[in-house]
Chain A
Amino acid sequence: MPSPSDSFSVDAACAWFGVDRALCARVLAAALDRGGDYADLYFQHRRACSIHLEDGLISHASTSVDRGVGIRVVRGDQTGYAYSEDLELEPILHAAKTAAAIAAGNRAVEPPGFGLRLSPDLYPIAEGWDQIELSRKLPLLSRIEGLAHARESAIVKVSVGWADADERVLVATSTGELRADRRPMSRIGLTLTAKRGDEVQSGGSNIAGRRGLDWYDAGRLDELVRDAVDRTMILFEAVRPPAGEMPVVLAAGASGILLHEAIGHGMEADFNRKGVSIYARMLGERVAAECVTVVDSALHPYERGALNFDDEASEVERTVLVDGGILRSYLHDRISARHYGVASTGSGRRESFRHVPMPRMRCTYMENGPHAREEIIASVSRGILAETFSNGQVQIGAGDFTFYIKNGWLIEGGRLTAPIKDVNIIGNGPQALRDVTMVANDLKLDTGGWTCGKDGQSVPVSQGMPTALVSKLTVGGRHA
């Protein structure tokens, strides 16, 4: 339920950044005095900590502080952008003048007044990361190392990486929004190397979210270690699948990477506004079977893609991209929403105050379908089951996308017969969507720490999937 976030109010944010409403209003007026239509200020302060365990020792930690304010001026589809790392008035005004020059006119602008906006509170945590001392984090890393060695004696190297960040943002817009947010983020990654005879294999797992320290309880750490050990040890039995086209069953969870690459990026409205997406003229058309509903939502609590409001101070929502097989909505930021004459979907995101916002995914997943997992696997006479992934990529216009499988299974005669490893899958987005023929009822959001890159900007995202069958994709593999 929406409620004013008391953990980091606008007043607290103003005090934190050493600014006030009058300063924000004055800078916004200066940003628009050459004739821009819209301007916003994005104050950001990020403190991060990372810790590394290797060879039984926690002997390296890092901390960082990064802060500044980004000033954007928009005129139609055009953008002027500058930022200041110094939060005093003069350098901020200088940056505002630089950004203002995207427009060439001259006019007096009334400073905006700011109203109160209510935000959801999707990632409340008991203690902010910058209050938690290093000494409380260290035992978690040692515990994970001990669990890994205890679980499997063939493991010769254990590497544990910890990362947490406490980020504060304050966004002020010329349309009168003034909103503050405190965004936690944390991640534990475990990498293992195991040896059997002369053969060496490495694998791993990671868990992440806008989570506090209490999330990393004994059960969670056990599960992380179990996944990492299992994924590593099975590689000793794993083979490359046969090369070529075949049915691919996507396991519940991280397989949402398929949606991210095959349709998510193509639905970001900036690509469509420019006409360069393969989905540019398909709204309202059937693109998949009725069992396929694809969603991108900011509203899942504690997910990496969760946001109380987006990086342009717009309301966030659950956006249905594909509804029962029909292409429904693009992902909009302010510029594209204005271009299309619709409301923003709250998808305007940016890597930091040094970057312009653009339409981005948040948490992308497919809704449940009517089938059972076993039923789907049983339907495949010769194909693969894809379980864990490292990375993916897409060409927006041609529609070709790829993702790389770290672990999976060969399916022969409707049964899982042998583990597989290290193969790339390639397909074409609209074709792959049409080829989704079965969807199970076991939707799972993945808890891994996914990061999405676009135009040189990285943002945290989440993804999820029920077990599903794509009847044909091209699998990299060995030749007979």
Chain B
Amino acid sequence: MRENELLARAREAVELAQRCGASDAVASLGAGRSLEFQWRDERLEKVQENASQGLGLALYVDGRFSTHSTNDLDPRRLASFVAEAVELTRLLAPDPFRVIPDPKLYAGRPGDLLDLVDPSAVDLPRERCLEWCRLLEARARAHAEVVSATSGVMSGTSLSARVSSNGFEGTRESTGVWYGAEVTARDGEHRRPEAARWVGATHLADLERVEDVGAEALRRVLARRGATKAPTQRTHLIVDREAAPGLLGRVLGALGASAVQQKRSFLAERAGERIASPLLSITDHPLLPKLAGSRHFDGEGISARVLPIVERGVLRHFYVDTYYGRKLGWEPTTASPSNLVVELGPKSREELLRDVGEGLYVTSWLGGNANTTTGDYSFGLQGHAVRHGEIQEPISEMNVTGNFLDLLQRLVAVGNDPEKWSSFRAPTLVFEGIDFSGS
């Protein structure tokens, strides 16, 4: 379906809901397709073609609210689905806070060029994808100790249209292309460490060369061989740029208005307070060209704007949607993150490691969790020991444990090296005096 057809069908769904008795309704229609190739040990392993469409519907009926989705768009069945949905809504409790978003929030939609569509990323020729798979896997497998290597190439496009009964209409289209490799290597009698490198962007031209991606996967797996558990200790924590979003993302989980209103946020009472080292600034930035999280409006139709989340360590904004905003008496900001941008420091990872001298460098997390109510966290990790300012032997089977309010104050350096096309642009981060458990 094309943009105009999606919009037309979304309008029809809103009208249908209103005919069935809804006082207000919001319809979102989405359509996407993608093609994926997987290659393993010198031959094609899997080809999969995906094509999906679906309707999402939010209904406001006599002060009551419900949401629905279906991928069965047959007009007759859709009509009865919507009629049943409206009747079901009438059985729920009326809730004065459940109202359709204020149309004032739809105003001032930015016109920035987001540049999310790359025609060359769609319908990539099969031969080209297979050649990339072959190259990725050949580079990833180029070592005698490799047991198995798998590579993959995926490309696709998605289009959505959103229409509300109180005047909102909008569409969004984006393309995406991803590729990478996973490698497993021998390490002693039974251990077979694995590692991967995947890259993805809206535009094909922005990705690293396939040869380099495959070679990086191999470099990573070879670096994992001989990993051991380091002693239980208190030392510097150096978080790789690829692991940083996983850590900071847990903190952002406490910034949703629902967590605040339900008293399950350790940051609830801390707006305007210093919650982190002054080195930390995080901005929600929906208007950066080519980034996958970019958008002109959010999931409620609220016009996009740049939102400071943490400014030099001070908590500035929460993620506030219409419902929980009304419950809290707060103005809505946006319901969910777009792109997250961490303000960079002046130094590269290598310079930071030299400054630090000693510590544990985390390349990825392994399990663990955090408690958003208290800020307590405990994560499994793998990475490398750092001594004399350089990366040393691989480490595994260790945990890092503490509380975010303490951790964030211990941030002592921020790198300058984010992944260019990640929608969570975080660089290397360095924390001091962090507790690790090991042998």
Interface residues of A (CB under 8 A from B): 54-55, 57-68, 77-83, 85, 95, 98-99, 101-102, 133-135, 138, 156-157, 159, 191, 193, 195, 200-202, 240, 243-245, 274-282, 354, 356, 390-393, 395-404, 421-428, 430, 474-479
Contacts and interface: CB of A to CB of B under 8 A. Distances in A.
A356 B46 CA distance: 10
A183 B94 CA distance: 33
Nearest to B259: A202
A393 B380 CA distance: 9
B437 A476 contact: yes
A154 B171 CA distance: 47
Chain B contact residues, majority secondary structure = strand
Given A59-B98, A402-B368, A65 B399 contact: no
Nearest to B189: A281
A279 B367 CA distance: 21
Contacts of A244: 232, 437-439
A282 B92 CA distance: 56
Chain A contact residues, majority secondary structure = strand
Contact of B88 (A61, A278, A404, A428): A61
Given A59-B95, A244-B438, A400-B382, A67 B71 contact: yes
A98 B95 contact: no
A356 B50 CA distance: 12
Nearest to B70: A65
Contacts of B81: 65
18 contacts: A65-B69, A65-B71, A78-B43, A82-B48, A85-B53, A133-B91, A138-B91, A276-B194, A278-B190, A281-B190, A354-B50, A356-B48, A391-B367, A398-B187, A400-B397, A403-B367, A426-B399, A479-B234
Contacts of B229: 474
A134 B88 CA distance: 7
Contacts of A282: 190
A54 B224 CA distance: 47
Nearest to A232: B373
Contacts of A277: 192
A390 B435 contact: no
A354 B71 CA distance: 13
Given A280-B192, A430-B190, A193 B262 contact: yes
A60 B191 contact: no
B378 A397 contact: no
B359 interface: no
B64 interface: yes
B406 to A, nearest CB: 11
A247 to B, nearest CB: 15
Nearest to B94: A59
Given A398-B191, A404-B367, A476-B399, A58 B92 contact: yes
Contacts of B438: 244-245, 474
A193 B373 contact: yes
B6 to A, nearest CB: 15
Given A193-B263, A243-B437, A244-B438, A201 B373 contact: yes
Contacts of B191: 278, 397-399
B147 interface: yes
Interface in B10-49: 40-41, 43-49
Given A78-B44, A398-B227, A399-B191, A393 B71 contact: no
A393 B382 CA distance: 13
A57 B95 contact: yes
Interface string B81-99: 1001100110111110010
Contact of B48 (A55, A58, A81, A191): A81
B67 interface: yes
A64 B69 contact: yes
Contacts of A135: 91
B148 interface: yes
Contacts of B379: 424, 476
B232 A81 contact: no
B319 interface: no
B183 to A, nearest CB: 9
Contacts of A427: 397
Given A275-B184, A397-B194, A402-B380, A62 B66 contact: yes
A262 to B, nearest CB: 12
Interface string B132-151: 00000000000000011010
Interface in B184-198: 184, 187, 190-194
A79 B45 contact: yes
B68 interface: yes
A123 B202 CA distance: 45
B424 interface: no
Smallest CB-CB A-B distances: 9 pairs: A402-B367, A476-B399, A397-B192, A59-B95, A243-B437, A393-B367, A476-B401, A402-B380, A424-B378
B264 interface: yes
Contacts of B398: 426, 474
B106 interface: no
Interface of B: 40-41, 43-53, 64-72, 81, 84-85, 88-89, 91-95, 98, 147-148, 150, 184, 187, 190-194, 224, 227, 229, 232, 234, 262-264, 327, 366-369, 371, 373-374, 376-380, 382, 396-401, 435-439
B435 A243 contact: yes
A446 B366 CA distance: 24
A62 B56 CA distance: 10
A404 B368 contact: yes
B193 A474 contact: no
B73 to A, nearest CB: 9
B194 A63 contact: no
A344 B182 CA distance: 27
Contacts of B43: 78
Contacts of A281: 190
B67 A400 contact: no
A156 B194 contact: no
A60 B380 contact: no
A80 B263 contact: no
A202 B369 contact: no
A98 B184 contact: no
B193 A397 contact: yes
A155 B294 CA distance: 40
Contact of B52 (A354, A423, A477): A354
Contacts of B382: 400
Contacts of A392: 367
Contacts of B69: 62-66
Given A66-B69, A397-B193, 18 more contacts: A65-B69, A81-B48, A83-B50, A193-B262, A193-B373, A243-B435, A281-B190, A356-B48, A391-B369, A392-B367, A398-B193, A400-B380, A402-B366, A404-B367, A422-B376, A475-B399, A476-B378, A477-B437
B263 A157 contact: yes
Contacts of A54: 262
A233 to B, nearest CB: 14
A98 B187 CA distance: 40
A418 B433 CA distance: 27
A55 B147 CA distance: 55
A281 B367 CA distance: 26
A245 to B, nearest CB: 6
B435 A61 contact: no
B264 A202 contact: yes
B72 A428 contact: no
Contacts of A474: 229, 397-399, 437-439
Contacts of B264: 157, 191, 193, 202
Instruction: Select the residue from B48, B68, B92, B439 with max chain A CB neighbours within 10 A.
Output: B48
Contacts of A276: 147-148, 184, 192, 194
A278 B192 contact: yes
B48 A423 contact: no
Contact of A59 (B65, B68, B437): B65
